[in-house]
Amino acid sequence: MPLSATDLKKFYTPFLNAHNRNIVLHCSYKKKIYGKNRWYRRNYPVFVSILAALGWFFSKYALVGFPPVGFIGLRFFSAALLFLPFAYPQFKRLTRTEVMRASATGLLFAAFMATWIIAITYSNNLGEGAFLMSISMLIAPLISWLVFRNKPLRSFWIALPIALSGVYLLAISKGELHFSADSLFYLLASLFSASYFVLHNQYSKSIPALALTTLQLSVVGVLCLSYSLIAEPWKSEVPTSAIMWLTISVLIGTNFRYMLQTIGQRYCNIANASIIMLLEPVWTMIMSVWWLDEQLTALKLAGSVLILAALLIYRIKNLIAFIRRKNY
């Protein structure tokens, strides 16, 4: 006699209940084991932004014993050598075109880092410099539009005048409209940074991340060291403290930061990361006021707030997604 639907339900119900209990127990156990690590995974970009801010000070302190461009050459060439054993398997799969593209973006990266370190050499206002550098996020869409005809988002046209107002307030923070030499170098560095980002995004998407990073670091290292050995004076004796800060810049400010950034990309939502990484100039400003006694005037604070507001407006979609995810 065939079983009715009621009989089948009675027969399978105990097994279904036991199965459901196992699922609940498994999920509870998994939550207990992995829940503690969720906070770290979500906040990888926070750690990366703090490391990026600390990198300003690692470099500043190392300059007591090294010429500016020479320091960048040593830092990035050493970092490239440390990455090389891990990147070598990816190198074997690269085409000649990919190597040329990675090297071309490395040229702009070298120009960016050289102008940035020169600005740091002659400035103790690292917080102001960090906010001027962050303008590169708004220069990049403009360059992409002019060169590759990629139209900027509507939010860009709202954010741009706000950011320019912030730059103006930073320029008059000492009572008159004046850009110091280091401020001009920061703005030039932001232009190189934006150009590098545009070309990197346009030509380097298909290149494996570790191979690309190692190639770019090596190009920066070779170019900056070559220039420095020809044009910069080197000290006959380098202080031990400078060597220590160079080592920290390589291991923590470069290699560990890139490694943490790569790991974080696996676990953190890209919208969250893009918003949290805007904290780099904020951390730099706080550290500069604390360690270098940078004067934080009302006009400088207002200018910094306007620039940060402009960057948030430009990334308004990511900001909304970030807020919704936090509320969820």
The pLDDT assigned to 205 comes to 74
The structure tokens listed for 87 are 């990147």
Average pLDDT along the chain, 328 residues, taken 10 residues at a time: 44 43 41 48 78 95 96 97 94 91 93 96 92 94 91 92 95 75 93 92 83 94 97 94 96 89 65 74 95 91 96 85 64
The pLDDT assigned to 30 comes to 41
The pLDDT assigned to 201 comes to 84
Q: How many whole angstroms separate alpha carbon 183 and alpha carbon 185?
A: 5
The pLDDT assigned to 35 comes to 45
* Prediction pTM value: 0.83
Nearest to 242 by CA among 69, 52, 59: 59
The pLDDT assigned to 178 comes to 74
The pLDDT assigned to 275 comes to 72
